[in-house]
Each structure stands twice: as C-alpha cells, then as structure tokens.
Amino acid sequence: MTKLALIRHGQSAWNLENRFTGWWDADLTAQGEAEAKASGLLLAATGADFRYAFTSVQTRAIRTLWLALTEMKRAWIPVEKDWHLNERHYGGLTGLDKAETAAKHGEEQVHVWRRSYDIPPPPLEVGSTWDLSTDPRYRGINIPDTESLKTTLDRVLPYFQERIAPKLKAGNDVLIAAHGNSLRALVKHLFHVPDETITGLEIPTGNPLLIELDAALKPISVKYLDAARAQKLPALP
C-alpha cells in the first residue's frame, strides 16, 4: 500500500478577511503558519515514508509545504511546483469580500458561482488590479480569466496522471500541498464523487487528509489526521 497525503494550505490573509482569493498570491497568517507546522507533526506521527512532494506556484501552498516538511524532518525530499495545482481562478470575484458580494448579487447567485460544478464566475477584466499577465511565474502560460470546479479538474487531473501517479505506482508515499478546489478536484477523481455532491465536500485548512491506495491507486482507507477539525470524508469507491 502507498500513502497519499493532501494538505490544504494553512489559513491565508484573505481567508481571514473573507475575500475571494483564487490565483492571487495571498500569504499565510500566523495561524496559517501554525496550522502548517501542526500538519507536519501529524504527518510525521503516521510513520509514512514520504519520498516526493508536490505543490502549486502560490506562496501560501509553498510555505505550507516547507513548514510541514521541516517539522517532518523531510525538507530533503524532492519538491515539484506547478501551476496546474493552483487554486481555482475566481475570475471577476477575485479580491471581493464574500459577504459584500452576496449582498450585491444575491446569496443564491453567489452560491451558484461558488458551489456549482460547471458554472464559472464572471471573467476577470483585462488590466484589472488582480490581472496576473505580467507575473513572471506565469510567463508563457495561458492564464484563465475564470474557472469552474470542472475546468479546474481538467487541468489538475492530467498533471496528476502524468507527474504524481507514476511516483505512487512505484510504491512511493507522496505529499501534495495545494488548495481547497484543486484538492477537491483530485478527491473527486480518486473517490468517484458525483458532480452534484463534490462541491459540498469541505477540505479544512491545515488538516492533512491521509489516503491509503492499492496498486491500482484505488483508495482503501481515508482519514483526517486532526479528528477535532475533520470534515465529512468522501466514501470509498
């Protein structure tokens, strides 16, 4: 059996401010740093032999991974950063306060944008404050102007199959530090979660989800390592 650990980054500044973050590079809060360190201690206590780690190119996920690996005494393992593991792009909602957005557009409409599987928010305007077209980490990348969970899965899954799955199939324990929606997309794939229920699956910040996989990468067990902060688990396929 191989083990796959998924960590949603610790609390970010925009999590705390209740703003739509998406691809914007909000950093960790002090609480987020503490959550990342606690994740590392929880993972170390499992005795898993993590040999590879993957993360996005967003600071909050990268720092979460490094803080966790330091606590695990695994800072030496290879780490691959890739934009395919980025958070879902929230388009024109980026930077907006969630409560104010609901008051302006109505809670029902905002719920559709946030929680439907295949309906994205309005696109981000070119030249917006949150336009990342000049960010050097995305040079040569066709940056989306908005994404649904479906289109997030469309980029996460090929990357997982090409870069991460071979490491797992070779018997290596793997750690992924990423984001609520990129991890939700991966959970949907691994556990065959239906379209109509995946958006209701919550992944808490800084609480590792440990999955045991068989040789075909079918989950055979799953648990949150911090039971006190656990959310409902996906059903085994």
Convert the pLDDT of each residue in 212-232 to its tens digit: 999 999 999 999 999 999 999
Average pLDDT of span 170-188: 98
Buried b (16+ CB within 10 A) or exposed e, 205-218: bbbbbbbbbeeebe
What are the domain boundaries of the chain? 2-229
Q: Rg of the chain over CA atoms, in angstroms?
A: 17
First to last CA, the chain: 16
Smallest Cα–Cα separation from 210: which of 115, 80, 68?
68
Q: By percentage, how much of the chain surpasses pLDDT 90?
A: 91
**Predicted confidence band of residue 69 (pLDDT cuts 50, 70, 90):** very high
Report the mean per-residue pLDDT for the chain. Answer: 96
pLDDT at 22 over 80: yes
Give the model's pLDDT for residue 103: 80
The pLDDT, as a whole number, for residue 113 is: 86
pLDDT reading at 104 higher than 80 = no
So what's the pLDDT on residue 111?
A: 79
- Sheet order of strands, 50-55 included: 79-81, 50-55, 173-178, 2-8, 209-213, 219-224
The token pair at 167 is 């490491």
Contacts of 170 (CB under 8 A, 6+ apart): none
CA atoms of 184 and 88, how far apart (whole Å): 10
Q: List 177's β-bridge partners, or say none.
A: 7, 55
Contact 6, 37 (CB under 8 A): no
Which residues have C-beta within 8 Å of that of residue 88, sequence separation ≥ 6? Answer: 22, 147, 148, 149, 152, 179, 180, 181, 182
Is residue 105 scored above 80 in pLDDT? no
Quick one: tokens of 175? Answer: 């750690």
Cβ pair 184, 157 in contact under 8 A = no
pTM over 0.75: yes
CB 68 within 8 A of CB 7: yes
CATH code 1.20.1740.10 for 2-229: no
Token pair in block for residue 133: 């077209």
Please name every residue paired with 3 in a beta bridge, in sequence order, or none if there are none. 212
Q: Which residues contact 154 (CB under 8 A, 6 or more apart)?
A: none
Active-site residues, by number, are: 9, 87
Residue 27 DSSP one-character state = P
What is the mean predicted confidence (pLDDT) over 105-112? 84
